[in-house]
């Protein structure tokens, strides 16, 4: 019904000509695909740092006792701040502001500061996913490990974290699907990635088909990740059901 409504609308022919020029689609695909590699590069580098830093932040926020209150307070403030500020503003402030300071030995690469911005923002989001996983592990697990002579740090490392990380893999993948799409925000810094390359071709041809090419490339990355996430969730559900039957 929606397809019929769209295709029968008065402006359909103009819309079709602007977004569905298949010859331009084929011609622009190689250039846009090359630019998309920059997005993939940013995604992979940022993801590697986020996985480690977010886990560290979640562990710091989970430290018990009044002596660790300043550390927990720092983790809370960091998380609240970077989850509250729009990602595009962080990218603009760092990507434009840091090179403008002209500090010695400070990189002025737009891609560098785009990666830093994404790491700062997504570390806050992913740390909350890790923290939820840590808190989902029953305290008796830690108590049992401590009764066997493990220190708090070793109990966290060998007992709590392995269970927590395994439980949060599906939501982690969902966050990284969002990260992959947000790499397009670096276009505001003038980096010629997939969105800017599409805009360049659109400005030269007065046709929006290059945006369809960019959308296709993102879909080709995100849909397999989404299906992989569904598979992990289903496998975890079956494992839990099997464990319940065995018990």
Q: Which residues of 169-190 are buried (b: 16+ CB within 10 A; e: fewer)?
A: ebbbbebbbebbebbbbbbbbe
Q: For the domain 21-242, what is the CATH code?
A: 1.10.3720.10
pLDDT at position 149 is: 82
- The pLDDT tens digits for 91-132 are 999 998 888 888 888 888 889 999 999 999 999 999 999 998
C-alpha to C-alpha distance for 129 and 235, rounded to whole angstroms: 19
| Separation of alpha carbons 43 and 41, rounded Å | 5
For residues 70 and 52, give the distance between their C-alpha atoms in angstroms, rounded to a whole number: 21
Integer angstrom CA distances of residue 28 from 19, 183, 185: 13, 20, 21
pLDDT digits (tens, 9 = 90+) for 146-199: 888 887 778 888 888 888 888 888 888 888 889 999 999 999 998 889 999 999
pLDDT at 245: 65
Res. 50 pLDDT band, cuts 50 70 90? very high
Percent of the chain with pLDDT over 90: 48
CB of 194 closer than 8 Å to CB of 38: yes
For residue 106, count other CB atoms closer than 10 A to its CB.
11
pLDDT in tens, 27-48: 999 999 999 999 999 999 999 9
The torsion angles phi and psi of 146, rounded to 5 degrees, stand at -65, -35
**Predicted confidence band of residue 246 (pLDDT cuts 50, 70, 90):** low
CA torsion sign for 127, 129, 52, 110 is negative
Q: Report the SS3 class of residue 68.
A: helix
Is residue 85 predicted with pLDDT exceeding 90? yes
Q: Which residues contact 191 (CB under 8 A, 6 or more apart)?
A: 38, 110, 111, 114
**Domain limits, the chain:** 21-242
Q: Rg of the Cα trace of the chain?
A: 23
């Amino acid at each position: 019904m929606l397809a019929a409504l769209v295709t029968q609308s008065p402006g359909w022919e103009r819309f079709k000509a602007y977004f569905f020029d298949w010859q331009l689609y084929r011609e622009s695909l190689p250039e846009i695909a090359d630019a998309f590699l920059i997005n993939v590069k940013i995604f992979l580098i940022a993801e590697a740092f986020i996985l480690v830093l977010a886990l560290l932040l979640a562990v710091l926020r989970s430290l018990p006792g009044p002596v660790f209150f300043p550390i927990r307070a720092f983790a809370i403030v960091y998380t609240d701040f970077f989850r509250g500020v729009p990602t595009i503003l962080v990218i603009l402030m760092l990507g434009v502001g840091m090179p403008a300071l002209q500090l010695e030995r400070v990189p002025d690469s737009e891609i560098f500061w785009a990666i830093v911005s994404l790491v700062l923002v997504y570390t806050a989001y992913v740390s909350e996913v890790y923290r939820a996983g840590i808190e989902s592990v029953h305290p008796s697990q830690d108590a049992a490990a401590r009764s066997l002579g493990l220190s708090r740090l070793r109990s966290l490392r060998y007992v709590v974290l392995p269970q927590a990380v395994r439980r949060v893999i599906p939501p982690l993948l969902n966050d990284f699907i969002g990260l992959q799409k947000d790499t397009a925000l670096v276009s505001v810094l003038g980096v010629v990635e997939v969105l800017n390359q599409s805009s360049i071709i659109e400005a030269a041809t007065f046709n929006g088909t290059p945006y369809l090419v960019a959308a296709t490339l993102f879909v080709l990355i995100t849909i397999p990740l989404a299906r992989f996430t569904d598979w992990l969730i289903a496998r975890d559900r079956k494992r839990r059901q099997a464990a319940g039957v065995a018990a």
